[in-house]
A and B are shown apart, each in its own frame.
Chain A
């Protein structure tokens, strides 16, 4: 099971701030630890794309390598240790569940730099990074709100952690803003990756009248199921969005757009920093502006004016003039959360454990 979330700034356990002084190098070795197979076409696949991008950008100045399918827990600690011992200069550990292991190993190898994805514990040689996927959810939420004819949007969710809840809320608020009648049907599948179960969930949602499917799980199964409806004679045409990867090949008709995890710019930047000797421990939570959250190409099935509106929203988020969580917003039980014009602070977003007003059903606790 893959667990990941964004760091919690408030909780951040910075063991020692400041950069470890280092000099420039002409050649570095970079290791990646993956929780899934590189062929999952979701989470791990995108990290591996980032690894390849480093090689493409920096050529023979870098040497990259990876270990895939590393179980969170004791096995991860051994793999990270072995990598550090084998002379890596920089190691990316790409799952939330590697957090404690990364910190532990980093303590023993002060000269090796570590980058832990989606965690919140740092040290002088451990940096953390994640992406503001909810910004992308706002954009595709807008499109979904426009495109649904049954006013029912199905949402396949993994675990009720803040990252996922944040995504649901962002998408719902955006969809509701353009379509007041919109309803979200949310199914929790308790897995990040189980194609058969995700396909079942998509089918269940379609049967319950959803004609746009969003997902926060990693396989393209839901996209494939949506695409199948385009072939069936009963004329129910269901749309879906790519998640983590673009997934265009899985839904030439069904795919409207996608949220792509784009780690390449960050990975290249960090690798360069190690080469230059300027690397320091920090936390990065980048979104559309930094290019870490990328919106996939819009389908021509989306009407021109909707495409324009979605693009404008993405541009505004990038420019900092639009925040997906801008008041007035109430929580699900009706208690006020954000006042008119007020925007959510990162601490609340990072610990988000409530639905916003209008979403039906209860958040599993």
Chain B
């Protein structure tokens, strides 16, 4: 038998090796799955993982699909580092989208150059404020932020439905629960002609870079990491836990809200009940797959986007049902989550347990 023994230092070698191991594991599991469905496993893997990278249009779509995941995950990761568990990013994403859309629709007749910045501010602020609810309840009443932020996702989902069926509904839309399509001045400009890559994608990359340097070099980053690794020491070092909670929740909420604004003003161009499709939850997984590191998150977001974009192609070109893609994605996540242990632990032959 083998057992796990903690390493004194996270293994650098394993940090590089484990994702490779996970991919190999997934490829084997996936091959079995697709073969069991009577599909050619090699072709399926090629279509999901390789083809989207070779095709110029699919490459840009990876950016469009992956950027909300990365933007949200970068914010969440900062909090997770500090032991602040915001799992309600989906709710903050929704509130950001609703607020930004409300601004866009209220000023529909007054297009102006400052409209998009105003929408961005509204989206980020709404996400920030929505995240402040669990933050405040945690500081004031020590209510568990995991649970409060999760509950607020459901509230936000219903709020979105109430808004698109009420005040924000398109008056000419035949009672469909949809807003009207935004005015051109409320739509994010496209950066690469002929694709859907909008300004938000680049802001996301910029934010990820910023987060990278903040966590490495800045005193705030240091305090956040200290808070997560050694809460007691952090307190002695003069770190106020309340301030960390507000910083982490606020940052992740604002970024999720901004992601909501990007999605509404970018590819969607209107507010609809189908706008939130679980980016906030998927981003949690992305954050962990990326080991809470902005660079890792970029890669993880890309892999996740690959499985979506490639999965769609696999549906119409190989007839692989959507359900199989979803199962496959879950397997990939399981594999990635399970190999992580090798970074912090090593496998050693089991010794006889000493009696206490």
Contact = CB atoms under 8 A, between A and B. Distances in A.
B223 interface: no
Contacts of B296: none
Contact of B322 (A37, A65, A161, A365): A37
B316 A353 contact: no
B315 A73 contact: no
A160 B169 CA distance: 13
Interface string A67-101: 11111111101110111011000000000110010
Contacts of A82: 57-58, 312-313, 316
Interface in A323-359: 351, 353
A8 B174 contact: yes
A72 B174 contact: no
Given A96-B176, A162-B175, A77 B316 contact: no
B177 A1 contact: yes
Interface stretch (B27-35, B142-150, B269-277, B328-336): B269-277
B175 A159 contact: yes
A197 B68 CA distance: 32
Contacts of A309: none
B174 A161 contact: yes
Contact of A74 (B64, B176, B177, B317): B64
Contacts, number: 90
A31 interface: yes
A65 B317 contact: yes
Given A66-B315, A72-B274, A190-B161, A3 B176 contact: yes
Given A1-B274, A3-B176, A365-B175, A77 B315 contact: no
Contacts of A81: 57
Interface in A1-55: 1, 3, 5, 8, 11, 31, 37
12 contacts: A3-B178, A66-B315, A67-B322, A72-B272, A79-B312, A86-B316, A96-B176, A97-B272, A97-B274, A100-B181, A162-B175, A351-B174
A233 B242 CA distance: 62
A50 B121 CA distance: 47
A345 B183 CA distance: 33
Nearest to A76: B274
Interface residues of B, number: 38
B349 interface: no
Contacts of B308: 75
A161 B175 CA distance: 5
Contacts of B321: 68
B309 A78 contact: yes
B317 A161 contact: no
Contacts of B274: 1, 71-73, 97
B174 A85 contact: no
Interface string B257-271: 000000100111110
By Cβ-Cβ distance, the 7 closest A-B pairs, closest first, are A74-B267, A65-B316, A69-B322, A72-B274, A67-B315, A160-B175, A161-B175
A327 B178 CA distance: 33
Given A31-B316, A67-B315, 4 more contacts: A5-B174, A73-B272, A100-B269, A160-B175
Interface string A165-196: 00000000000000000000000001000000
Most chain A C-beta atoms within 10 Å of own C-beta, residue among B57, B64, B309, B312: B312
B176 A159 contact: yes
Contacts of A161: 174-176
B238 interface: no
B53 to A, nearest CB: 14
A37 to B, nearest CB: 7
Contacts of B263: 74
